[in-house]
Amino acid sequence: MKDLLKKYFGFEEFRPFQEKVIGNVLAKNDTLVIMPTGGGKSLCYQLPALKFEGITLVISPLIALMKDQVDALKANGIAAEFLNSSLSYQEISRIQNRAQTGDLKILYLAPERLAMESFQNFLKTLTVSFIAIDEAHCISEWGHDFRPDYRNLKFFKITFPEVPIIALTATATPKVQQDIAKQLSLNKAKMYISSFDRKNLHFLILRKTNAFDKLVQLLKKHKDESAIIYCFSRKETEEIAEDLRQEGFKALPYHAGLDPAIRKQNQELFTKDEVRIMVATIAFGMGIDKPDVRLVVHWVFPKTLEGYYQEIGRAGRDGLPSECVTFYSYGDFMKHEYFIDKIEDKAEQENAREKMNQVVRYCEQISCRRKHLLAYFGEEYKKDNCGACDSCLAPKDTFEAAEVAQKIISGIIKTGGRFGKNYIIDVLKGSGKQQIMDNNHHQISVYGIVQDYSKEELKHIIKSLLNLGLLQSAQDKYPTLSVAQKGFKWLKQKEPLVLPKIKEDVLDQERKDISQYQLEYDLALFEKLRALRKQLADINKVPPFVIFSDVSLQEMAYYLPADKDNFSRIQGVGAQKLENFGDEFLKVITSHLKENNLVSSEVPYRRRKKIGLASRRAPVYEKTKKMILEKFSLSEIAKEQGLVEGTIINHLDRLLESGEDIDILYLKPGQKDFEKIKDGFMNRGDEKLKPVYEYLKEEYSYDTLKLARLFFKQAN
């Protein structure tokens, strides 16, 4: 077997797990293999196929996967073919003839073909020595990807009772493992379960706030590396791909609604590294054997942990560190809930809801995510800190939580244990919601008793109490909280309780860190830069903020950028300002560096807002742009959209900032008024409106000042 391994696959040794599986197969025993993506499952049936006398049948659910595997086998000198709906009648007939004459060693089949009696009769003419069923979890209705066509596979044990079967999957809970063996009628199958632990994968859950900015940050971090972004819908894949292209990334969509030729082309561009980012529905990836995907993002959290594990399995198949990021929000929870409600079979609906709740528990987990994920698949992870998930990596601040925990538990008891966490929190916070009034819960002793914690903090504390087993949650559509026996015992004994404080997202913290530097900037350099700004403003006859805002100067005095590339990332430095003023500001900064023996710091990347995102998701921008091009007045535009003029001026600011080609000159205040307003901004030396409004003795409205300010900005 090692000679065959070397001759056809180029490997000197088996992986330990493969050797055991192949040994069992060669003994002609039925076998069930649970092995993570990238673990080498295919070799477990491809190599024994070469040893057996007759033909090996391989059942695979995906056309792309079949083609890729058959192409790879042919390249290794192995006689292999596939039969599926992508082939013509003539091609199918040719391949069947090759199989009947013993010219093939491996034949891949789509499961739906087993439903045809004529095809079953064809299989009976073959000398079948071995049968492999890939993605075997598809046969179980308890699995995450049940496919009725897989139930046709019962045909094999009936027709070929002596032929050994190997069933393989990357994702199966203990319950699904048993169901696979039962549905396939496997005969005393030996089960081989590899560790589900992919040590090179790092897990990160992010709140879905400023989500697109966070996505851009992640992609910049993984610049020139392959990434897959999984979306909820076809429309979403198109939108995210387009938004990313607007940000300068090479990104393409992939979903079942695309023309097959375009879908195939996009896949090939990705596999050949001509496009680094694939934005896809879950239709993408199962047939992709790309080892160097460094980032897998779930834009919407997945429906099942099995699906999640399978999709993150496409990251880091070469064993190198790779990142798996999931965005989590209540809004996405409701998206999933909407479709679950449409499932007519009640048992199937409840199964789908429980699977989604498992994902929710994983996302809300405050302890090690790896430990939680492995436990779901029946594997114990013995360490308390994996060092590769956001829960383990983030420093954990703690606080004494006994008092607030007692109040939460009392709130649950006094409301009868019939409500969810949001209702309990509203009672504790003293909300005036009608439901609370109707239930007379505004009259109980715990009403309004918690004012020193925010709602988010209380949600976090409740999660901690659930994780500790002090509380329990009903697993149905509307989960209600109740106090567990452990909680009653704790409440009675009045023991101390230390809980972790709520932590910010890693990326939220980075953004916060960027906004806090004002306290630490180099004051001496800031004054030099401010003097230069005033000098340039006087020369250009504009208010100082038109050159650069105080925020921009503070960033310069904090990061001390010494070259144009770094300087260009300072907030407020666009291409035009870099060209007009960059050299002079850099001259002052580099001189200050030398005089004080200082070093420059890297300016973090921040996405520059583009109207493309806003225009599609908020059509009002497009409407404003259209009416401006047709020279409507501000009052007409505001009236048409049911908005105030100040909001329309904000639209114009965003449109101009994003580089839209619009002419607003016809809206400019009269020259006399404009000069007076300009004088106000020059004298107040600020872009804030109130000082100018007061300086001009309230002669002009805030909207007029805001509009005039647009023209100062346009000047530079």
Domains of the chain: residue spans and CATH:
2-193 (3.40.50.300), 201-389 (3.40.50.300), 398-500 (1.10.10.10), 516-596 (1.10.150.80), 611-715 (1.10.10.1390)
Q: What share of the chain is helix, strand, coil (3-state, %, to 5)?
A: 55, 10, 35
Residue 506: pLDDT band with limits 50, 70, 90 = low
Q: What is the pLDDT of residue 513?
A: 43
Q: Are 120 and 163 in contact (CB under 8 A)?
A: no
The answer, yes or no, to whether residue 680 has pLDDT greater than 90, is no
Instruction: Please compute the mean of the pLDDT values over residues 163-169 and round it to a whole number.
Output: 93
Q: Are 1 and 47 in contact (CB under 8 A)?
A: yes
DSSP-derived 3-state class of residue 456: helix
Cα 122 from Cα 168, distance rounded (Å): 25
The answer, yes or no, to whether residue 535 has pLDDT greater than 50, is yes
Between the alpha carbon of residue 280 and those of residues 191, 243, 254, 263, 612, the distances in Å are 34, 14, 5, 10, 20
Instruction: Please compute the mean of the pLDDT values over residues 392-407 and round it to a whole number.
Output: 84
The answer, yes or no, to whether residue 613 has pLDDT greater than 70, is no
The answer, yes or no, to whether residue 502 has pLDDT greater than 80, is no
- Greater model confidence, 501 or 151: 151
The answer, yes or no, to whether residue 195 has pLDDT greater than 70, is yes
Between the alpha carbon of residue 311 and those of residues 171, 174, 691, the distances in Å are 10, 20, 55
Residue 361 φ/ψ, nearest 5 degrees = -65, -35
18-39 per-position pLDDT tens digit: 888 999 999 999 999 988 766 6
Look up residue 213 and give its two tokens: 């900015």
Q: What is the pLDDT of residue 511?
A: 45
Nearest to 326 by CA among 304, 298, 307, 302: 298
DSSP-derived 3-state class of residue 442: helix
Q: Are 277 and 230 in contact (CB under 8 A)?
A: no
Q: What is the pLDDT of residue 620?
A: 78
Give the H/E segment covering residue 395.
none
What is the β-pairing status of strands 226-230 and 277-280?
parallel
Q: What is the pLDDT of residue 101?
A: 92
Q: In this structure, what is the dihedral angle of CA atoms 661, 666, 668, 673, given to the nearest 10 degrees? A: 170
Q: What is the pLDDT of residue 605?
A: 64
Q: Which residues pair with 277 in a beta bridge?
A: 227, 251
DSSP-derived 3-state class of residue 494: coil
Instruction: Please compute the mean of the pLDDT values over residues 627-647 and round it to a whole number.
Output: 89
Helices (H), 560-661: 564-567, 575-596, 611-617, 620-629, 634-641, 645-657
What is the β-pairing status of strands 398-400 and 498-500?
antiparallel
Helices (H), 59-136: 63-75, 89-100, 117-123
Q: Are 383 and 357 in contact (CB under 8 A)?
A: no
229-249 per-position pLDDT tens digit: 999 888 899 989 998 998 889
Q: What is the mean pLDDT of the chain?
A: 85
Cα 353 from Cα 346, distance rounded (Å): 10
Cα 161 from Cα 588, distance rounded (Å): 84
103-145 per-position pLDDT tens digit: 999 999 988 888 889 999 999 999 999 999 998 888 887 766 6
411-444 per-position pLDDT tens digit: 999 999 989 888 999 999 998 889 999 999 999 9
Q: Are 199 and 217 in contact (CB under 8 A)?
A: no
Cα 396 from Cα 156, distance rounded (Å): 54
| pLDDT above 90: percentage of residues in the chain | 34
Q: What is the pLDDT of residue 308?
A: 92
Residue type, 243: D
Q: Residue written as tokens 């005969």?
A: 187
The answer, yes or no, to whether residue 616 has pLDDT greater than 60, is no
Q: What is the pLDDT of residue 634?
A: 92
202-217 per-position pLDDT tens digit: 999 998 877 888 899 8
Instruction: Please compute the mean of the pLDDT values over residues 547-557 and round it to a whole number.
Output: 86
Between the alpha carbon of residue 64 and those of residues 59, 61, 263, 268, 289, the distances in Å are 13, 9, 11, 11, 10
Q: What is the pLDDT of residue 599?
A: 87
With a CB cutoff of 8 Å and minimum separation 6, the contacts of 264 are: none
Residue type, 284: F
Q: Residue written as tokens 């209705």?
A: 141
Long-range contacts of 309-312 (CB under 8 A, 24+ apart): 309/36, 309/170, 309/171, 309/196, 309/373, 309/377, 310/37, 310/144, 310/170, 310/171, 310/286, 311/228, 311/230, 311/282, 311/285, 312/198, 312/201, 312/203
Which of 67-81, 253-267, 298-312, 680-694 shows the lowest per-residue confidence on average (mean pLDDT)? 680-694
Instruction: Please compute the mean of the pLDDT values over residues 172-176 and round it to a whole number.
Output: 83
Q: Are 135 and 169 in contact (CB under 8 A)?
A: yes
The answer, yes or no, to whether residue 475 has pLDDT greater than 80, is no
Q: What is the pLDDT of residue 135?
A: 87
The answer, yes or no, to whether residue 659 has pLDDT greater than 70, is no
Residue 548: pLDDT band with limits 50, 70, 90 = confident
Q: What is the pLDDT of residue 714?
A: 62
377-398 per-position pLDDT tens digit: 888 898 888 999 988 887 667 7
| pLDDT above 70: percentage of residues in the chain | 91
443-470 per-position pLDDT tens digit: 999 999 998 888 888 988 988 898 788 9
Q: Is 11 exposed, middle or buried (0-12, 13-18, 19+ CB in 10 A)?
A: middle
Q: What is the pLDDT of residue 6?
A: 83
Residue 519: pLDDT band with limits 50, 70, 90 = very low
Q: What is the pLDDT of residue 207?
A: 85
Instruction: Please compute the mean of the pLDDT values over residues 558-570 and round it to a whole number.
Output: 89
Residue 480 φ/ψ, nearest 5 degrees = -105, 150
Q: What is the pLDDT of residue 516?
A: 43
The answer, yes or no, to whether residue 627 has pLDDT greater than 50, is yes
- Greater model confidence, 192 or 546: 192
pTM score of the predicted model = 0.65
